[in-house]
Structure 1
Amino acid sequence: MDSQSTFRRVLHHPFTRLVLCLVLAVVLSALFHWLGAVLRLDRLPSANLRTGVFALKNAVTVVLALWLVEWGIGRRTLAQLGLGWQGALRDVGWGLLLGLGLMSAVIGVMALAGWYQLVEGPPESFQEEARDALVWAAIFSAAGFFEEVAFRGIAFRLLEEWLGSAAALLVSSAFFGLVHGTNPHATWFATLAIALEAGVLLGAAYMLTRSLWFATGVHIAWNWTQGALFGVAVSGLDVDRLLESRLSGPEAWTGGGFGAEAGGVALLLCTTAGVLLLVYAARQGQWVPFLPRRRARRESAPATAG
């Protein structure tokens, strides 16, 4: 094998592309940060507006990094990377329904147990509440899209291509939990819960459809339903909400200040849903075996004479 072939093989390797995506994302993030400082975006009058701009910047950063690397190396289109427009609205819609249903079930179980109660909040008009709900829908859309492109579109997809579905799910889920472990009110249990329930569920959602839109829909609805609708903290962060609420009872089950997603109720319900989705994806032929590239080379190698 000549040096040119070796270089091409190394360049096309999933690990190389993963590293290049990460490096390019860091460079682009620094560039956008500088541009934001020049435009004084950190001085926008509204905290929600600053949060939204930050989330949008992150989303644009990872999409650009993903596309530039994959198009530059393998001429892969956005559709091949899980971001095609055909069927996008359908996939987002089904994802929104799944996320809404799961988080509503979690809050419903806690309400039946007496751990979730509605309380009196500050007086607001319907227009103010609707505006806040729409603002947070936009913020969660940008943030959810960013995280799905980063964790499923880049990390999971390339790890799966290199190591197979099991390893990709394990590594991407663990990293997803660890990243959320830096949030306010995070505990080791919250980190584990996010890794298991959200990491498995969202990874399985991508595996089943090979569409980032479905996983993004689940992610958006999960956050918005928990925070903006039911008034529970989202990964330790308080948001404007339609319903004022209070969590009481054992934090191991309710999630306490981190939010319902860090409690045992969500861990049991959402992890079960993720495992079921994962099994269904595997039965649909979406499970990639361990070291698929090595297996493909071995199967394509000419048989030796006996």
Structure 2
Amino acid sequence: MKRLFLDNDNRVRNGWWIALFLVLMLASRFLYTPVSRALQAAGTPQAALELLRFGFLLGVTWICVRLRKEPLSSIGFVLGRRWAREFGVGAFLGLATAVLAVVMIWAAGGVRLQLDPARSVGLLVYGLYIFLFVALFEETLFRGFVFQRLVAGTNAWVAQLVLGLVFASSHWGNPDMQGATLVWASLELFLGAVLLGLAYLRTRSLAMPVGIHLGWNWAQGYLLGFDVSGFAHAGWFRPQLLDRPEWVTGGAFGPEASVFAVVVDLALIAILWKWKGSKP
């Protein structure tokens, strides 16, 4: 019976840590939901709730790592010059690959771009705030404690497969997720999760995954004006989709449902695969 709970080093097995994390996440909803509703009723802007959501996730993660007698920074938040550098590199990669995917859609005759008369620097800054906390939340959830316990308990590629499928399926309830869009978007989201997981594995830090995630979403939405995972965003540009199949343009879901997003994901995965990494 002891072997069921403890490994050969007499440490609690990783599967039980994952189970504890999931139970605590579920339990935290009973506190998060009334707090969130109370703040909204008091007139708190919706954007401010992104910080609250991330804070609750960080709290659950902190409980788990403290029970393991590890610091919160151990999941990939060793902040400093190296973290900032990798975050910056990741943000550039995310932005560049998103722009590249859109350029390919444009070259294939799938979109026409024009400047939005209502564009503003303030909107770009607001978008950075929103997508920073989206990236922090999703990377801590999908490449944080659970992913790392899966890597330790099985191996990296089992963790990549499991969390990639979970990440893709978590978007199935998003707007315009049906038909061919469901297929292409799910494939791109799975590959995106593998890419982000590989960025973590090469650095053992969440800096680069958070940066890539931020740059990718921000460039698609608040810079280029496309929908991001089915959700509309006003951007610096106003894209007009042309008469091409949705697997070319991405349709109403956004460029993530385009074959070209899959192509750039594969290219960046290949680059990270060749890279030896910068583990501390």
Deviations 1:168-226 (CA, angstroms, capped at 9, x unpaired): 11111111000012100113311222112x11111111111111111000000100000
Q: Which runs of 5+ in 2 are unaligned?
A: none
Contact 1:193–1:267 under 8 Å retained in 2: yes
- Secondary structure at 2:240's aligned position in 1? strand
User: TM-score scaled to structure 2, two decimals?
Assistant: 0.89
- The 1-side partners of 2:4 and 2:175 are apart by 47
Deviations 1:2-23 (CA, angstroms, capped at 9, x unpaired): x6x8755587211111111121
Deviates more, 1:206-215 or 1:16-25: 16-25
- The 1-side partners of 2:50 and 2:272 are apart by 28
The alpha-carbon distance between structure 1 residues 70 and 244, as it changes in their structure 2 partners (threshold 3 A), is: same
Contact 2:102–2:255 under 8 Å retained in 1: yes
Match of 2:64 among 63, 66, 69: 69
Which residue matches 2:241?
247
The alpha-carbon distance between structure 1 residues 60 and 278, as it changes in their structure 2 partners (threshold 3 A), is: farther
Contact 2:220–2:227 under 8 Å retained in 1: yes
Alpha-carbon shift at residue 53 of structure 1 (Å) = 2.8
- The 1-side partners of 2:234 and 2:61 are apart by 32
- The 2-side partners of 1:159 and 1:285 are apart by 21
Which residue matches 1:116?
111
Name the structure where helix makes up a greater proportion of residues. Answer: 1
Which residue matches 1:28?
28
- Percentage identity across paired residues of the two chains: 28
- The 1-side partners of 2:5 and 2:186 are apart by 39
5 Å-filtered alignment, 1:142-221, equals 142-187=133-178, 188-189=182-183, 190-196=185-191, 198-221=192-215
- Secondary structure at 1:83's aligned position in 2? coil
Which protein, 1 or 2, shows the higher relative CO under an 8 Å CA cutoff with sep ≥ 6?
A: 2
Instruction: Answer yes or no: is 1:81 the counterpart of 2:81.
Output: no
Q: Quick check: which has more Rg, 1 or 2?
A: 1
Which residue matches 1:44?
43
CA RMSD of aligned residues (A): 2.2
Which residue matches 1:269?
264
Alpha-carbon shift at residue 55 of structure 1 (Å) = 2.3
Contact 1:200–1:275 under 8 Å retained in 2: no
The alpha-carbon distance between structure 1 residues 42 and 210, as it changes in their structure 2 partners (threshold 3 A), is: farther
Q: Which runs of 5+ in 1 are unaligned?
A: 287-306
> Which residue identity lines up with residue 44 of structure 1 in the other structure?
G
